[in-house]
Amino acid sequence: MEKHTKKGFLFKKYEAPFQSPFDKLFEIFKELITHTSGDFEEAIDWLRQLDVEYKLTDSDYTIDDFIEDLKKKGYIREELKEDGTSGTGITAKTERAIRQQALDQIFGNLKRSGSGNHKTKHSGSGDEQTGEYREYHFGDSLESISLTESLKNAQINNGADEFRLTENDLVVEESKFKAQMSTVLMIDISHSMILYGEDRITPAKKVAMALAELITTRYPKDTIDILVFGNDAWPIAIKDLPHLKVGPYHTNTVAGLQLAMDMLRRKRNTNKQIFMITDGKPSCVREKDGTYYMNSNGLDEYIVEQCYNQAAQARKLHIPITTFMIANDPYLQKFVNRFTEANQGKAFYTGLKGLGEMIFEDYETNRKKKIK
């Protein structure tokens, strides 16, 4: 008797994957510690409030048990605060976990691959196999010889009875160079990044952490440097990103661009680029005598002209600038348009939603072409 198998869909109630009490709280904790710029006590206070409202714990596993596990697992440690009092701070292990979470949230559809991954159109002695073959030429490295294809040629050309491999049987698999990219990410930390009841700095931090984690794990041959700019500009380490805060600053875009270009001048890579995340207009420049010229009212011609000059200077150095403007004021768009024209770069006018995906898409696009 013939057996028939029925095909179709089986619907059932969704069952969330199992998480231990620690893992469930740790996911929330990583999000909170990002919002509090690494302030452990404030993050735990928020976690306790959420516990009261949403019953995250029970008598078998409390918030205090969670804190004890954080200590045992090496996520937090006792440390001295800036005011000299003792407190609790996060460790490098937590910083790595936060970066990985940011990467999963923003670029979750990516899979880790080998180093490099920056393709060019030029064939030659590279480190990425193309699947295409050619005859062996004097000077080709032994590593580039395709043993399987060469043995097959030897059998075809000389017969299988008396095996003989000659130079004419050798074939080489073509390869491509993988371009390397050096990126500087500029983050605006002026006061406007937290004005009007909107937290803009936290999404910017998440994007920076995700991009840093992406490059260091997926493209280890590439480099990324991060700087922040307010009244001045200064570099920060990747490990400092979770602790990044907005200050009572104006926006010295010129200082940020100058520092970014100085960083990239030291890189040996041919491909260089600047990503700039900002929500405001340039409102500050530092004069040669060390004083600051500031003007927050509209677009100051003296300040913006210096921005255009920096954009043109970057163009001469073959450094494209991609501006992510998280504001939609028409006069600011006009400034960004002219700035972008001076550099021959790109500009995106975007809100906070989708910022990470846009930056990743642009990074992927730029790394696939050789910037000349």
Q: Is the pLDDT of residue 369 over 80?
A: no
pLDDT at 170: 82
CA distance 211 to 213: 5
The band of 261, judged by pLDDT with boundaries at 50, 70 and 90, is very high
Report which residue type is found at 72. K
Dig out the tokens for 11 from the structure.
Answer: 């619907």
Average pLDDT, the chain: 85
Residues 285-310: what's their mean pLDDT?
Answer: 96
102 and 202 in contact (C-beta within 8 Å)? no
Give the count of beta carbons closer than 10 Å to the beta carbon of residue 62.
15
DSSP assignment, residue 16?
P
Residues 169-215: pLDDT tens digits? 788 876 655 568 999 999 999 998 887 778 889 989 998 999 999 88
In angstroms and rounded to an integer, the radius of gyration of the C-alpha atoms of the chain is 27
Please tell me the pTM assigned to this model: 0.76
pLDDT at 344: 93
Q: Which residues of 279-289 are buried (b: 16+ CB within 10 A; e: fewer)?
A: bbbbbbbbeee
pLDDT at 127: 43
CA distance 74 to 90: 9
173 and 129 in contact (C-beta within 8 Å)? yes
Residue 301 host element (H or E): helix 301-316
Residues 133-157: pLDDT tens digits? 777 777 677 777 777 787 887 777 7
DSSP assignment, residue 18?
P
Residues 32-68: pLDDT tens digits? 999 999 999 999 999 999 999 999 999 999 999 999 9
Q: Is the pLDDT of residue 276 over 60?
A: yes
The H-assigned helical ranges of 219-300 are 253-265
Nearest to 154 by CA among 142, 141, 173, 146: 146
CA distance 347 to 327: 12
